[in-house]
Structure 1
Amino acid sequence: MTYDEYQFLQFEHQADGVLLLTINRPEAFNATNDRLHWELSKIWLTINDDPATRVVVVTGAGDKAFSAGGDLDWIASMVGNPRVLAKTHVETGEIVYNMLACDKPIISAINGVAVGAGLSVALMSDISIMAEEARITDGHVKLGVSAGDHAVICWPLLCGMAKAKYYLLTSEFIDGKEAERMGLVSLSVPRAELMDKALAVARKLATGSQQAIRLTKRSLNGWLHMARPIFESSLAAEMMCFLGEDAPEGLASVKEKRAANFPSVTR
């Protein structure tokens, strides 16, 4: 694919081979619909094949959200639907694997709330820089599905098993300062300084030894590749949960902004 074929991703080529990639559905807080989810699975291949790009910085349009999770209508299309889930299963894996396979360093500038596939992109980036005021959560269990996406492959490595279990089982929100303190993100800075910091780091990488930087990324990613069987298991479990009894109630509770009454609790 070429850059002009993407519908919900915007691109700005800057000096020194830095590409600014913006997730662009601001009217929906950059939530992922079917098309955007597919685009997030493919863009890393396009970037990897782009000789003009050395480093990519990814952020969200507007000042409120990096990406506010899955669009509820899109999530509804998955519940109880094996055909849609089969497509989502493949794409979700490709987001993770294609980010790992991209030789160019990826920097996330987490400017606002990040959930779901957006959080996958934010935390699977090689360097993650988060606004202190931003908030992130892996909200899978609130929806009645197990944590899949990116979480199981990287959270235990980033912040340790104790913190990973606590936040993935409770779906509590984490702000930028706490995310940096526990090692979930690389850095946190005041929101007003976020893009300047992310672009400064990008320029530093873009003007460094490309061979050394890319091969260091490849070597470090070996730790994540070791967890591939665990990730595959978690992803399959997530898809299975979308066919279970709790997912319809989880989706309804989110839409109605109320506590869920999961059948698995009351049976």
Structure 2
Amino acid sequence: METDLILTDRREGYRVITLNRPDRLNSFNEAMHAALMAALLDAEADTDCRALIITGAGRGFCAGQDLSDRVFSPGQAPDLSSTLERLYNPLVRKLRELQMPVVCAVNGVAAGAGANIALACDIVLAARSAKFIQAFAKLGLVPDSGGTWFLPRLVGSARARALALLAELVAAEQAEAWGMIWKAVDDASLMDEAHRLAAHFATQPTIGLGLIKQALDASQTNDLSQQLDLERDLQGRAGRTPDYMEGVMAFFEKRQPKFTGKA
């Protein structure tokens, strides 16, 4: 029986969540889905947690779906729609709606749903040895877990189509050059950089950062007038937070602000 499929390391102001099936390249089975969602919900409920790092144990980030978890009888057609509706779609939605920054540290391969779960995070760092692949076409499937939404917005239509149809590997430095991820870093520096970002976010105005995430996501479908209205409404909420007042006072007093991230 598998245990500790997800590891949680609590740091000051943030948490590190590690996918922990290294013998299977951290591919997803139902138990790991449940454990990851529980870890995300627990972090979300912790008012002292103001940022997350998500990474993988061993030599890979996540190889997507564990195909051995989808055993079915000859002639039986699996219901992959149900798998997405129950497991992957709620996971991607939760990652996007978390009101704190989520840093993904991609160590090694990120394939299929594993690649798209990484892209669902706010800031993606990748070791220079890491690779991304939309492996779905090799199995006659459609990119899921948000792949057909994230890719065109990150790399453009032409590259998204080629990546989805050809299922070719993209090295970390190429992913950075294309704007698929934030930054490629030396393998030995990956977690140090991830911790540096998370520790920074743990000192920042968390509510305001969450509102920034909302605004950026909404801009993908809003027209300009709708986005201006949303900015107005979100700015009104941000301006009523204690962190805004602290930021203003710190500016005038020429000191570093002490944000609490609290409402």
* TM-score normalised per structure 2: 0.77
* Cross-structure match for 1:135: 131
* Cross-structure match for 2:8: 11
Structure 2, unpaired ranges of 5+:
223-263
Letter of the structure 2 residue corresponding to residue 185 of structure 1: I
C-alpha displacement at 1:102, in angstroms? 0.8
Q: 1:159 to 1:42 in 2, by over 3 A?
A: farther
**Aligned-partner Cα distance in 2 for 1:138–1:93:** 17
* Cross-structure match for 2:215: 219
Q: 1:65 aligns with which of 57, 60, 68?
A: 60
Q: 1:22 to 1:77 in 2, by over 3 A?
A: farther
Q: Residues 81-230 of structure 1 correspond to what in structure 2 (within 5 A)?
A: 81-82=78-79, 85-223=81-219
Q: Aligned-pair RMSD on alpha carbons?
A: 2.0
Q: 1:36 to 1:52 in 2, by over 3 A?
A: same
Contact 1:10/1:21, CA 8 A, preserved across alignment: yes
Letter of the structure 2 residue corresponding to residue 19 of structure 1: R
State the Cα deviation string for residues 102-129 of structure 1 (Å, max 9, x = none). 1111100001101133222211000000
| Secondary structure in 1 matching 2:28 | coil
**Aligned-partner Cα distance in 1 for 2:135–2:33:** 17
* Cross-structure match for 1:230: none
Q: 1:76 to 1:88 in 2, by over 3 A?
A: farther
Identify, as 1 or 2, the structure richer in helix.
Answer: 1
* Cross-structure match for 2:42: 46
| Secondary structure in 2 matching 1:95 | helix
Contact 2:112/2:143, CA 8 A, preserved across alignment: no
Letter of the structure 2 residue corresponding to residue 31 of structure 1: S
Q: Residues 28-47 of structure 1 correspond to what in structure 2 (within 5 A)?
A: 28-47=24-43
**Aligned-partner Cα distance in 1 for 2:72–2:54:** 27
**Aligned-partner Cα distance in 1 for 2:136–2:32:** 19
Contact 1:130/1:194, CA 8 A, preserved across alignment: yes
Letter of the structure 2 residue corresponding to residue 11 of structure 1: T
| Secondary structure in 2 matching 1:147 | coil
**Aligned-partner Cα distance in 2 for 1:163–1:145:** 18
Contact 2:136/2:142, CA 8 A, preserved across alignment: yes
| Secondary structure in 2 matching 1:81 | coil
State the Cα deviation string for residues 169-191 of structure 1 (Å, max 9, x = none). 11000111000000000111011
1:80 paired to 2:77: yes
Structure 1, unpaired ranges of 5+:
1-5, 227-267
**Aligned-partner Cα distance in 2 for 1:70–1:9:** 16
Q: Which has the larger radius of gyration?
A: 2
**Aligned-partner Cα distance in 2 for 1:137–1:69:** 10
Q: How many residues align?
A: 218
C-alpha displacement at 1:31, in angstroms? 1.2
Contact 2:117/2:145, CA 8 A, preserved across alignment: no
| Secondary structure in 2 matching 1:58 | strand
Contact 1:109/1:194, CA 8 A, preserved across alignment: yes
C-alpha displacement at 1:161, in angstroms? 1.0
Q: 1:87 to 1:165 in 2, by over 3 A?
A: closer
* TM-score normalised per structure 1: 0.76
Contact 1:55/1:205, CA 8 A, preserved across alignment: yes
Q: 1:23 to 1:225 in 2, by over 3 A?
A: farther
**Aligned-partner Cα distance in 1 for 2:154–2:42:** 27
